[in-house]
Amino acid sequence: MQAWEKSLNQSVTSPEELAGLFRVDAAPLAGVVGRYPMRITPYYLGLIKEPGDAIWRQCVPDPAELADLSQSPDPLDEERLSPVPGLIHRYPDRVVWIASASCAVYCRFCMRKRGVGCAGMQVAPQKEALEYLAGHPEIRDVVLSGGDPLLLSDERLEDLLAGLRRIPHLEIVRIGTRVPVTLPERVTPKLAALLKRFHPLFVNTHFNHPDEITDRSARACALLADAGIPLGNQSVLLKGVNDDPQVMRRLMLKLLLLRVRPYYLHQMDLVKGTAHFRTPLAKGVEVLKALRGHTSGLAVPHYVIDLPGGKGKVEVAAECVRREGSRLVVTTYLGETLEYQDVC
């Protein structure tokens, strides 16, 4: 067993364990964990300075998760857009491959919290997924997602990537991972060397707060960057975590020091169990205004909404047409005009 696997096995997974480490009542959390699992690695747990801080809110269950009854478990219609279970074909030339059903830390704001870490989470079967990809020459870009693909063993990951590289029309492979943030010991020299063999390959990671950038997470990013892997970051705008222009500015500037390019700032998806994290769009615009012109354009991500119904992403500043009360009228990349419900 590798060091990162041992660390993963030592994760906190129950409210009782958490209560033994912090002065909190385990009882209100038990029902939440029964529906949406908890896992916090020893490393990420060590970043918590006090209950309720930005790290705590991202990883510790909140009874508010069970009070959110109005939103959809699958607002992006991923299951409908899966020609093979676990393979999401939303855009014409690219697909998302759910390669893993688990994460090092179960983020409380997860867009797939309906399934990640839960029994029955659908991972794309490799044989069927590769057959589908080989049979659709219009697909040029595959995003490995999950769960977290880097929780696969090196051998399993190598087999999957080799299968993709045997399909001539697949030009780009992207990996979406949060392990540099939550389990940095998973990024080893061996893993970096393995990934280097499958260029062009891109890694998008997921830092949400400057306190997540440490010597250990920096080393993980450096191993990947030194292997020639372009690194991007996708943050989610989270109430009580990073919905502060100065916090976001510190995060973006620190990312550039790690050779990680800020890519997306996501408006919180309309996912059941996450409403307490949502902010108004005006807050995201405020954050962007604090970045643009006040720092390098390299530090300014695209602020995007992932539209319900699988309609794709729209950039808030570029795509908003007009506002009608709390409704925002937007235009998709296909030219469709849709309404999006903002937070009042």
User: CA–CA separation, 171 vs 280, rounded Å?
Assistant: 37
Instruction: Note if 283 is an active site residue.
Output: no
Concerning whether 306 is annotated as a catalytic residue, the answer is: yes
Residue 103 bears catalytic tag? yes
Quickly list DSSP for 68-80: --SSBSSTT-TTT
Angle, helices 154-165 vs 189-196, to 10°: value is: 10
Catalytic entry in 53, 68, 77, 91: 91
320 catalytic? Reply is no
118 annotated ligand-binding residue = no
Which entry of 43, 44, 62, 107 is annotated as an active-site residue?
A: 107
Q: Is 53 a catalytic residue?
A: no
In this structure, what DSSP letter does residue 32 have? H
**Strands of the 327-331 sheet, one edge to the other:** 320-324, 327-331, 337-341
Of 239, 94, 96, nearest to 171 by C-alpha is: 94
Catalytic residue status for 107: yes
CA atoms within 13 A on the CB side of 271: 24
From the candidates 68, 94, 239, 244, give the one annotated as an active-site residue.
94
What does DSSP assign to residue 309?
G
**Choice among 62, 211, 243, 306 that is catalytic:** 306
Instruction: Answer yes or no: is 110 a known binding residue.
Output: yes
Residue from 43, 44, 62, 103 carrying the catalytic annotation: 103
From CA 83, how far away is CA 89, in angstroms rounded? 7
Please identify which of the residues 108, 112, 186, 311 carries the catalytic annotation. Answer: 112
**Contact in structure between 243 and 215 (CB atoms under 8 Å):** no
Nearest alpha carbon to residue 111 among 76, 148, 163, 162: 76
CB of 307 closer than 8 Å to CB of 341:
no
6 is catalytic: no
Catalytic one of 43, 62, 110, 221: 110
Reported as half-sphere exposure (CB side, CA atoms, 13 A), residue 143 has a value of 15
Q: Would you tell me the crossing angle of helices 189-196 and 215-226 to the nearest 10 degrees? A: 30
304: Cβ–Cβ under 8 A, 6 or more apart, which residues? 264, 265, 266, 267, 313, 314, 315, 316
- Partners of 305 in the beta sheet? 314
Active site residue 197: no
Binding-site annotation, residues: 103, 107, 110
- Active-site residues, by number, are 90-91, 94, 103, 107, 110, 112, 269, 306, 313
Binding-site annotation, residues for [4Fe-4S] cluster: 103, 107, 110
